Structure 1
């Protein structure tokens, strides 16, 4: 099973929406993440008030990036819309849109980050892996926390702490969360868990609006 993905750099940073609020936030993230590179807990703590401010502004996210996606690889109509990624692929920001009543697979992220609820209501179930990972395809999880989330709520990821979870929309309308992650989350190989049968498999969630360069290159090679 692949635990780490090495991604080729892109020609330049990629922006998928035009938003001064988002550009200002990314500039702040870059400055703070460089200064606190040796202590990601400090990175998260210093970024949180700026992230809170971004979540409080309800005009910067275009509606097309707050829509469900029937073709989602995550299933359940879940939309994963890329908003920004750094050319070295060390940072991505995306919106995750979960229809009412839908639940994400239990999954990890393999990166530090912040996730904040932008719209709707959610229930988050947080897990901890308790086996040693020595048996392929097997993973034993324990639930460590179940919490209800309201717009503006933020939680942090600092693997292994908080990195494995599943999220359900509990509102009558779709929930929209904003993810700030220290990798190109949709394009790295991550883990999808099925706690009921203690199983795990590799998966790549992709994005609803942007291909992964690695997938494009593989398809082009197959065509040739």
Structure 2
């Protein structure tokens, strides 16, 4: 199964919004993650209060990054809007917009990180993989937790803990969550699970507003 997690470096850090609040938060992320590189549990614990402050502020995220996306690779009209990514692709920040009643595929992230609910309500189903991964295309999952999430709630990813989940919007309006993850999540190949059939496949979610590097190069070549 394809699982490419190493990407070519970008030419520079990429910003997709102008937000002093997000830039200030990113400075904290850079400082804390650099000093806790050997202990990501500490990284997440120290970052969480600053992330909480960011979620409370409801003016910094432009409306166009809180919209659904009918052409989403995630399906169900889910928008995955890139806000920032580091040039070495060691960090990405993006918003995930899930329409009312829609559910993400069951998926993993393959990175440490924090996810916080910026708007709306969600139900998150967390899974643990219980097979050894030896059988191609086969995966046995077990539900470990179902959480009801409201605006301002935060959860941690520290693979394998909490890394496999599906999220459904339970509010009458779309839910918007902010993701801070230690990779270029939309551009790496990761895993989509089908628990009912005990199967798994590689997938790449992409972003609603930014190509992955090789897609961008292909586009340039066509012109």
Shorter-chain TM range is: over 0.9
The match for 1:66 is 66
Unaligned 5+ segments in structure 2 are none
1:131-166: CA deviation from partner (whole Å, max 9, x where unpaired): 000001000000000010000000000000000000
Deviation at 1:75?
0.2
Matched residue SS, 2:109: coil
Alignment of 1:1-224 (within 5 A): 1-218=1-218, 223=222
Secondary structure of the residue aligned to 2:83 is strand
- Deviation of residue 215 (structure 1)? 2.3
Compute the TM-score of the two structures, normalised by the length of structure 2.
Answer: 0.98
- 1:218: how far off? 4.6
Q: Which runs of 4+ in 1 moved over 6 A?
A: none
TM-score, L = length of structure 1: 0.97
RMSD (Å), alpha carbons: 1.2
In 2, distance between residues paired with 1:2 and 1:156?
26
Residue segments in structure 1 that go unaligned for 5+ positions in a row: none
Q: What SS does the aligned partner of 1:168 have?
A: strand
Residues of 2 paired with 1:98 and 1:120: CA distance? 10
TM-fit CA distance, 1:11:
1.0
